[in-house]
Amino acid sequence: MEDAMKNLTRYLTGAALCAVCASAPAPAFAQASPAGAEAAEEDEARGDIARATQLYREGNEAFKQKRWSDAELKYLKAWGLVRSFDIAANLGEVQLQLNKPRSAATFLSFALRTAPPSTKPEQLARIRHFLGEAKAQVGTLRVRAMNVAEVEVYLDGERVPEEAARHELYLEPGEHVLLMRHAGYEDAVLRVITGPGLTETIAHRLKPKAEKAPGAAGAPAANDAPPAKLPETTAAPREARSWVPVIALGAASAVGLGLGVGFTVAANAASADGDRQQAMLRQAGGGCVDVPAEYSHLCSGLRDSASRVETRTRTATVAYVAAGALAIGAVTYALWPRERTTTSRGVHASAELSPDRAGIVVRGVW
């Protein structure tokens, strides 16, 4: 870690001073800036380096203690001041620990591309190792235009930085919308589906815009037309099937089955009463013809039991049939192909009992 700190300080100092030199105007083309302005710029660059170095050290301490969230915060603040391969390498490794493989791959690939020649082989091997782990969890995309040198790249509506667009893009597994743009050419909008560990190269030929005749004064030129809008990435959701009828029909079927079982039990009880009364009549010496007066009530009870058995058996049969029909209706509705409709849906089920019939009435629209 100490070697990394030394490399970081040397790398940041050199990068910052080169940036200051590059920003100074050339004396052959512009008036030289005052010496005070150059000194101020150099002091500001050195101040950023000092703050980034301190944040980097604090991030390393959190890293050693496996306080990944604290380390990420320190490294991100340092990255905001100065973009160094050391910061990117440690930040990518921490984000991999925080289950952020896409961002981790972005930082680790930057670190690998920008590592200076003095970087130790074991440090480069470590970066490659963690980059491989990150890429195994995301999709990798390379974008090239076949007929132009550079293109603007948009991914899911957000512009990709030019430096990243020239190398590799890392995507969460799933479907994404890719847009390629270049002045004088029509926008190319492509849908990309990627998965963990997959690498895809898209080489697309852009189509030149059709030349149009000059319009009236003040009319926009052909190349000044507003950029094409990205298509919606999410299709309008289909109307979900209503499960209320299935639940209602299933509940009504269960009620019908319960009624059938109840009437079956009642019919069996009435049949048992009839059998008992018939046995008593046999013991009295006959049937209900010329029966002694003391057994006449048994004949009346026997006829009543027979009537109850018949009524309850018929009612149980109707309930079983209704329960089966309702269950078939619920299954049919659940599996039947449907079309969209704006008709309001509703279902109502009610039991209907009378002296001469029994059943379940279902009314509904679905």
Express each pLDDT in 336-366 by its tens digit: 665 444 444 455 555 555 555 556 655 554 5
**Residue 28 CA from chain centroid, whole number:** 58
Per the CB < 8 A criterion, the answer to whether 100 and 63 are in contact is no
Higher pLDDT, 275 or 97: 97
Domain identity same for 124 and 162: no
Domain identity same for 175 and 252: no
Domain identity same for 109 and 171: no
Beta bridge partners of 179: 154, 189
Q: Quick one: what percent of the chain has pLDDT higher than 70? A: 66
Do the domain assignments include residue 232? no
Mean pLDDT of the chain: 75
Q: What are phi and psi of 184, to 5 degrees?
A: 85, 0
Query: 65 to each of 52, 92, 227, how far by Cα in Å?
Result: 20, 17, 49
Q: Which of 209, 234, 267 is the last residue of a domain?
A: 209
Question: Is pLDDT of 17 > 50?
Answer: no
Count the domains in the chain. Answer: 3
Domain identity same for 52 and 163: no
Domain identity same for 266 and 318: yes
Do the domain assignments include residue 185? yes
Q: Look at the chain and count its residues.
A: 366
Question: Is pLDDT of 106 > 70?
Answer: yes
Do the domain assignments include residue 199? yes
Domain identity same for 74 and 142: no
Nearest-CA neighbor of 351 among 302, 313, 318, 309? Answer: 318
Do the domain assignments include residue 224? no
Q: Which of 92, 118, 135 is the last residue of a domain?
A: 135
SS3 of residue 219 by DSSP:
coil
What SS3 string covers 8-24?
HHHHHHHHHHHHHHHHC
Lookup: tokens for 361: 């009435």
SS3 of residue 72 by DSSP:
helix
Lookup: tokens for 331: 């299954």
Lowest mean pLDDT among 43-47, 119-123, 124-128, 212-216: 212-216
Its domain, for residue 334, covers 244-365
Domain identity same for 272 and 190: no
Reported confidence tier of residue 19, pLDDT bands at 50, 70, 90: very low
Lowest mean pLDDT among 26-40, 182-196, 269-283, 321-335: 26-40
Per the CB < 8 A criterion, the answer to whether 339 and 241 are in contact is no
Question: Is pLDDT of 7 > 80?
Answer: no
Do the domain assignments include residue 203? yes
Domain identity same for 72 and 182: no
Lowest mean pLDDT among 22-31, 96-105, 254-263, 346-355: 22-31
Domain identity same for 118 and 194: no
pLDDT at 284: 64
Q: For 308-326, what is the mean pLDDT?
A: 82
Consecutive H or E run containing 271 = helix 244-284
Q: Where are the alpha helices (DSSP H) in 35-67?
A: 35-64
Using the 8-state DSSP alphabet, how is residue 167 labeled? S
For the chain, give the longest Cα–Cα distance. 143
Domain identity same for 250 and 350: yes
Do the domain assignments include residue 223? no
Confirm whether pTM is higher than 0.95: no
Domain identity same for 107 and 157: no
Do the domain assignments include residue 227? no
Domain identity same for 131 and 249: no
